[in-house]
Amino acid sequence: MTRAGSVPELVTAARTGQVRAVARLISLVEDASPLLREAMAALAPYAGNAHVVGITGAPGVGKSTTTSALVRELRSRGQRVGVLAIDPSSPFSGGALLGDRVRMGDHATDAGVYIRSMASRGHLGGLSWATPQALRVLDAAGYDTVIVETVGVGQSEVEVAGLADSTIVLLAPGMGDGIQAAKAGILEIGDLYVVNKADRDGAAAVRRDLRSMLALADRAEGSWRPPVLTAVATKHEGLDEVVDKLEAHRAWLAESGAGTDRRRRRAREEVAAIAVTELRSRWDTLSGSVELDTLAEDVLAGRLDPYAAADALLAASD
């Protein structure tokens, strides 16, 4: 039993829009609860309907402000929206710093919006290790669009592209030239490019440079051509066009079959990540064992090579 009832009760409550149940299920994910397997099994039949949108970009481009404006636009179109804001971990508690929740406070009283800050806890790629399972909770709970806003950590932030159906890459004038953008790898991951803070000097040049570089990309016939849009998120300007293009990209994913391919790859990565986590938990047990110390002594004395010792250690874990 959980504090809020059994897992089936929580899933039923989440499916009927009860925010407390959604929050409790995501807490099971973050805490790696023993009930997590049961929860994921119960949620699985209901998942697979939400449009997962990743938002990425360097620190300072206005990711949280844009996310808030995007939520507002989606809500005006009648959509229920979930947001997973991946915050840098607190160096003291390991918890999220919650800056994104503060900036998205406009939606705090909206029953059609659920916002959750999740700590990255040092995970590379700008995402929390628990993000895929948290996405499943929001998906199964009936949210139409789930936005994942990542930590701004440069090149490793491309991980969001493997998690989202549609990836928005944010840029802003004064945040580095187009060559730096290309070096960061963002020209390979974006489905939409949005130059935020477009009321500032240099925005037109950033858009022009991006368009020029994207035009040089070698794309197959019939593939998606990422648009380069402009917005001023603080004034809610340009967000209607961003949502229009997101909907167009979702339609293209369905028509081309690319959406199924992306979700299949996402499922593969999730399964692999869970398996690796399990292996690492076994390793944590083995690493403190007497047998490992003995094998280390054998390697040091030349009685075993390290590969044979590793084979022996893995055999002991079976």
Q: Residues 65-98: pLDDT tens digits?
A: 999 999 999 999 999 999 998 865 433 334 434 4
Task: Decide if 245 is inside a domain.
Answer: yes
Range of the domain at 283: 269-317
> 184-191 contacts: CB < 8 A, separation 24 or more?
184/58, 184/154, 184/155, 185/155, 185/158, 186/56, 186/57, 186/158, 187/213, 187/214, 187/217, 188/158, 188/161, 189/56, 189/158, 189/160, 189/161, 190/161, 190/226, 191/166, 191/167, 191/224, 191/226, 191/249
More confident residue, 288 or 223: 223
pLDDT tier for residue 102 given thresholds of 50, 70 and 90? very low
Q: Are residues 211 and 170 in the same domain?
A: yes
Q: Are residues 1 and 121 in the same domain?
A: no
Q: Are residues 85 and 6 in the same domain?
A: no
Residue 151 has pLDDT above 80, yes or no: no
pTM: 0.84
Q: Are residues 309 and 222 in the same domain?
A: no
Instruction: Summarize the confidence of residues 283-303 as an average pLDDT.
Output: 80
Task: Decide if 260 is inside a domain.
Answer: no
Give me the pLDDT at residue 8, please: 94
Task: Decide if 18 is inside a domain.
Answer: yes
Residue 134 has pLDDT above 90, yes or no: yes
Q: Are residues 95 and 139 in the same domain?
A: yes
Task: Decide if 185 is inside a domain.
Answer: yes
